[in-house]
Amino acid sequence: MRILLTRHGQTDWNVLKKIQGCTDIELNEKGIEQAKEARKKLLEYDIDYIIASPLKRAKKTAEIINEGRNIPLIVSDDIKERNFGKFEGKTAKEIDFDEIWNYKLNKQYKHAESVGEVFDRVSGFMNNLKHKYDDKTVLLVTHGGICVPIRAYFEGIPEGMDVLKGMGLDNCQIKEYNL
């Protein structure tokens, strides 16, 4: 099984460095252009399925990538961005961003997902994916916070890296994995 992984195109909140989480933000013009560039790069792949987060920025990125291709597009809450609760709309300077992304600390929040909860959700999704689409090529269109546990699923967590925020992807960056 081949997995192609990409993060949605840019939004205005990306520019402002605000935590989006489950806040449903649209792509901006640059984000639309990034999605079109990703589409061009992905034309070389024979993709069987696209699975996207239901949030507008990821779903629109997936739709742009799929223009003219008619690849079955599946929307899955399992790869919806991490729920950051009260931290959504804040910048990393306004909160302790390192604490939020500290895997070993795995701080529990009243109205937000912990790192461990996100990892469990995404790991279950990945395990189901490999059984359901064993011999297929699947493109996942998701979010920076979900790219972290997906990358860790394939690459592991680097030795001594407690704060995982650096494992995300840039907007419309593409990674490829084989299962």
**Active site positions, annotated:** 8, 81
Residues near 67 by Cβ (< 8 Å), separated by ≥ 6? Answer: 39
CA–CA distance, 90 with 50 (Å, rounded to integer): 31
SS3 state of residue 37: helix
Locus of tokens 């790219």: 147
Kind and range of the H or E run holding 14: helix 12-15
* 4 burial via Cβ count (<10 Å: 0-12, 13-18, 19+): buried
Residue 35 · residue 61 · CB < 8 Å: yes
CA–CA distance, 150 with 116 (Å, rounded to integer): 13
Least Cα distance to 88 among 112, 56, 64, 65 occurs for: 112
Strand order in the sheet with 49-52: 73-75, 49-52, 137-142, 2-7, 174-178
